Structure 1
């Protein structure tokens, strides 16, 4: 991963939901189909194979971290990124449902109390900890492989009633936390020339969040529109390099 962005997003990308749904449904099907292979008849699970193949053949430029209640916004954003910049996007909620479905299958088969419809507390704790640990490892792997992360900062993901911003989602807490410590590496591609004056009016960022997000860069709906305009005008550059230039991440690319 190279950079993370704290995105204050409105609902102005609704027109791209259909394109985003195509991406979302394809990812969810791939993940669901792959996970079903690891539930074996003999009662065993190959945890190593499962974590390595949780996201089968999914390659992404951008990872979108979001609240479950913001799924439609994330889907619309994914559609916009694909249609506008041809960027491949990973939508993290595509895995949550699959993880829950896999847990339900495991619990129904192995965790029910004999002769009852209830579940064993101890067995359920064991199955949940196993799946969530495996999922966390797989999420770390794909965040590491993607170039950047967008966090949808909305009242659904951040508790605005608290003086110090916090989240009630363990997955948001994990995903944003891991981006602070994961290895950072610059994109391995030929450097385009950013034309003089391209970012003369770019605003500096001010980060004020306390949810361990000081390493993320603030962007807004206005920034998304500005990004699109700059890429259209200077389309000899990779779209993410244009975004990084806006946020003053690739100042070495500016020419006098």
Structure 2
């Protein structure tokens, strides 16, 4: 990961995202979600055992994306459309975190039905389910870290669905109810800033975060998240990015992300 940006709802004003962008975003999401589904089925082979050896390797080698888009699950429609807009206007491949977390409940249900359900009693083992849930969440967090590390940019949607409110007027921290957003923003701080297009070797994060969620409907913790390291992408920034990229007449047209870095005065290493 090289750069980390934050986008709010006002950033989309006047961008004229249309049904074509929506369709492209849906296609991207379907493509990458199918890859994720396929890999998860392979790693949890036939509901018989978890293949621990495969967990140590790169999770999704087929996915080659430029941008990792972090968002609330409530904003998934807007995230898909924005991903389509980035694809159509700049030729950028976007991976949204929905591709990983979108099927986690189904995955857990399948595992719990196999490992945790007592057919004689007709109940699930509380102890076994805690065990399987913690392991699945940890494995997917590692997969998430790997995917974020292999993309060049993070773009985070700051909306009332993702960030609840400012903690204090002069604080750099905000509050979120989402453990996944908390984890992604935490990872975005510790992952090394390396421009992936110009590096042959990947640098793996040595950090991991233990998160547990969905204990019950009334369990509603909040997490302090620091977003001060994210670079703001305003509506003017997105329009200027598109204008300068389209206006570039050079034969060796620069990469669209390099155009954005220059506009935001980000030093290219």
CA distance in 2, matches of 1:154, 1:37: 35
User: Are 1:168 and 2:177 an aligned pair?
Assistant: yes
Distance of aligned partners of 1:111 and 1:223 in 2 relative to their CA distance in 1, 3 Å threshold: same
**Any conservation in 1 of the 2:59–2:146 contact (CA below 8 Å)?**
no
Paired residues, number: 232
Unaligned stretches of 5+ residues in structure 1: 190-209
Displacement after TM superposition at 1:29 (Å): 1.2
Q: Equivalent of 1:133, from 135, 138, 143?
A: 138
**Any conservation in 2 of the 1:62–1:90 contact (CA below 8 Å)?**
yes
Q: Secondary structure at the match of 1:166?
A: strand
Distance of aligned partners of 1:166 and 1:173 in 2 relative to their CA distance in 1, 3 Å threshold: same
Q: Secondary structure at the match of 1:211?
A: strand
Query: What is the match of residue 48 of structure 2?
Result: 43
Q: With structure 2 as the length reference, what TM-score do the two structures score? A: 0.79
Larger mean Cα displacement after TM superposition, 110-119 or 76-85: 110-119
User: Are 1:215 and 2:229 an aligned pair?
Assistant: yes
Query: What is the match of residue 191 of structure 2?
Result: 182
Unaligned stretches of 5+ residues in structure 2: 199-223
Query: What is the match of residue 86 of structure 2?
Result: 81
Q: Secondary structure at the match of 1:52?
A: coil
Displacement after TM superposition at 1:188 (Å): 4.4
Q: Equivalent of 2:148, from 122, 125, 143?
A: 143
Displacement after TM superposition at 1:162 (Å): 4.7
Query: What is the match of residue 249 of structure 1?
Result: 266
Query: What is the match of residue 208 of structure 2?
Result: none
Displacement after TM superposition at 1:116 (Å): 3.8
CA distance in 1, matches of 2:56, 2:144: 9
Instruction: Please give the residue correspondences for 1:1-256 in structure 2 after superposition, counting only pairs within 5 Å.
Output: 1-9=1-9, 10=12, 12-15=16-19, 16-40=21-45, 43-50=48-55, 52=57, 54-160=59-165, 162-163=167-168, 165-189=174-198, 211-234=225-248, 236-250=253-267
Q: With structure 1 as the length reference, what TM-score do the two structures score? A: 0.83
CA distance in 1, matches of 2:268, 2:23: 36
Deviation track 1:138-161 (CA, whole Å, cap 9, x = no partner) reads 111111111010001100100027
Larger mean Cα displacement after TM superposition, 43-52 or 90-99: 43-52
Deviation track 1:168-196 (CA, whole Å, cap 9, x = no partner) reads 1111100111111111113545xxxxxxx
